Amino acid sequence: MDYLLIQVLNGVQLGLLMFLLAAGLTLTFGIMDLVNLAHGSLYMMGAYFAWTLIGWTNSFVLGALLALPACFLLGVIVEIVVARRLYARDHLDQVLATFGLILFFNELVRAIWGPEGRSIAVPAFLNRTVNILPGVPYPAYRFALIVVGTIVAILLAWLVARTRVGMLIRAGASNRRMIAALGVNIELLFSLVFGLGAVFAGLAGLMAAPIASVKIGMGDDILIVAFVIIVIGGIGSIKGAFVAAMVVGQIDIVGRAFLPDFLKTFMGAASASAAAPAISQVLIYIVMAAVLVWRPTGLFGQRT
């Protein structure tokens, strides 16, 4: 039972991390209609910024807090220099241009920070385990990830549902031309949203850094999963991204924690341990394909 609880928490924590990454992606996608492959690069830059700033300030929290405005700034710059010119283009031009950005950022990081990757240590006050139930230890840093992830998710939900900016975001997601016609400064709104997306991506990157490692291309593999999430959830829907991220997080953990044993009940141990990772690797793609066959615009997507 304790074991089950821990695995569920692991899934939640992974899902929240993925949600942070997917939230920015689904916002830029839903509002500006931009396929931004370089979103993973912003995730990577968040981690590298944090590494440098933590080095300067000697404090994880301070460094992380300073990295967020840096990400915002970078996001706005990318928006003004490149992304802005792509909104009206078709998806292919966007894919090409943002693919170019990935190459650029990866090599830029190598030129600046070197090829060997960097490491961010878990802050001292979180470098221990906490008992979530009596006698059930859980890494404190992961617990903190769940707390921060939940707070950010709630904040985002509040921002989208209750504020004026959120109203414009929702309006933009359903009818872009309409809000422009209403006299809203759309350029400013877009820069803001893009910057916000960059902050979420950067936050995900720097929060993942102490459990993963800070390396070149760290955002590229995870980006595909983020795309899977926003597509399952329905593009432009924050709620959809959240639900899908949770589902994907749990599927991932179930695939790794329980599938091998489950398979062993009806096949040999050797073939089970060979088949399980292969299945868990494709599981999310199967789920995505199934969702799309059932609902071609995702769980919470706009019907056309």
Partner 1 sequence: MKRTLLAAATIAAILGFALPSVQAQQSVKIGFVSTFSGSQAAIGEDMRRSVDLAVEHLGGKMAGKPIQIVYEDDQFKPDVGKQKSEKLVQQDKVNFVSGYIWSNVLLASLKTVVDEGDTILVGANAGPSQIAGELCNKNFFSTSWQNDQTPMAMGEYLNKKGVKSLYLMGPNYAAGKDMLAGVQRTYKGKIAGEDFTKWPDQLDFSAELAKIAQVKPAGIFIFYPGAHGVQFLKQYVQAGLNKTIPLYQVFSIDAITLPQQGELALGTLGAQEWVNDLPNEQNKRYVADFKKKYGVYPSYYGAQSYDAIMLIDSAVEALKGDLSDKAKIRAELMKANFKSLRGGFKFNTNHFPIQNFYIQEAVKDAEGKMTVKTIATAITDGKDSYYQKCAMK
Partner 2 sequence: MAGLLSALRTPRGIVTVFLLLVLAVLPLLTQAFDQRYLLSVSTRIVIWSIAAVSLNVILGYGGLVSFGHAAFLGIGGYAVGILSAEGFESGWLQWPVAILVAVVWATLIGALSLRTRGVYFIMITLAFAQLVYYLSSGLAAYGGDDGLNISRSRFPGLIDLRDKAAFYWLCFVLLCGTLWFCSRLVHSRFGYVLRGAKSNELRMTALGFPVFRYRLVAFALAGAFGALAGILLANDGAYISPAMMSWVKSGDLIVIVVLGGIGALFGPLYGAVAFFVVEEFLPPLLDLLHRGWGEYWQIVFGPLLVMIALYARGGIDSLLGRRRD
Q: Of partner 1, partner 2, none, which one does residue 111 interact with (CB within 5 to 8 Å by kind)? A: partner 2
Residue numbers of the site for partner 2 (CB under 8 A)?
Answer: 29, 35, 82, 85-86, 89, 91-97, 99-108, 110-111, 224, 227-228, 231, 235, 274, 278, 281-282, 285-286, 288-289, 292-293, 296-298, 301, 304
Dihedral sign from CA coordinates of 200, 202, 203, 207: positive
- Report helix, strand or coil for 137: strand
What's the min distance (Å) between Cβ of 79 and partner 1? 26
Which has the closest alpha carbon to 42: 273, 180, 202? 202
219 contacts partner 1 (rule: CB under 8 A)? no
- Residue 260 interacting with partner 1 (CB under 8 A): yes
Q: Which of residues 13-52 bind partner 1 (CB under 8 A)?
A: 13-14
Binding to partner 1 by residue 69, rule CB under 8 A?
no
Rg (CA), the chain: 20
User: Is position 302 an interface residue for partner 1 (rule: CB under 8 A)?
Assistant: no
Q: Following DSSP, what letter does each residue of 203-271 receive, concatenated?
A: HHHHHHTTTS-B-TTHHHHHHHHHHHHHHHH-TT-HHHHHHHHHHHHHHHHHHHHTHHHHHHTTS-HHH
Encoded one letter per residue, x for contact with partner 1 by CB under 8 A and - for no contact, window 107-126 reads x--x---xxxxxx-xx----
The token duo for 56 is 């300067």
Closest CA to 45 of 214, 213, 170: 214
Q: Angle at Cα 9 formed by Cα 246 and Cα 66, nearest 5°?
A: 80
217, 251, 287, 297: which one contacts partner 1 (CB under 8 A)? 217
- CB nearer to partner 2: give 58 or 304: 304
Closest CA to 220 of 99, 109, 90: 99
Task: Evaluate whether 243 touches 299 at the Cβ level (below 8 Å).
Answer: yes
293 binds, among partner 2, partner 1, none (CB under 5 to 8 A by kind): partner 2
Helix (H) or strand (E) holding 145: helix 140-162
- Smallest distance, Å, CB 93 to partner 2? 4
Task: Please report whether residue 185 would count as binding partner 1 according to CB under 8 A.
Answer: no
Which residues contact partner 1 by CB under 8 A?
Answer: 3, 6-7, 10, 13-14, 106-107, 110, 114-119, 121-122, 127-129, 137, 139, 141-142, 208, 210-213, 215-218, 221-222, 224-225, 252-253, 256-257, 260, 273-274, 276-278, 280-281
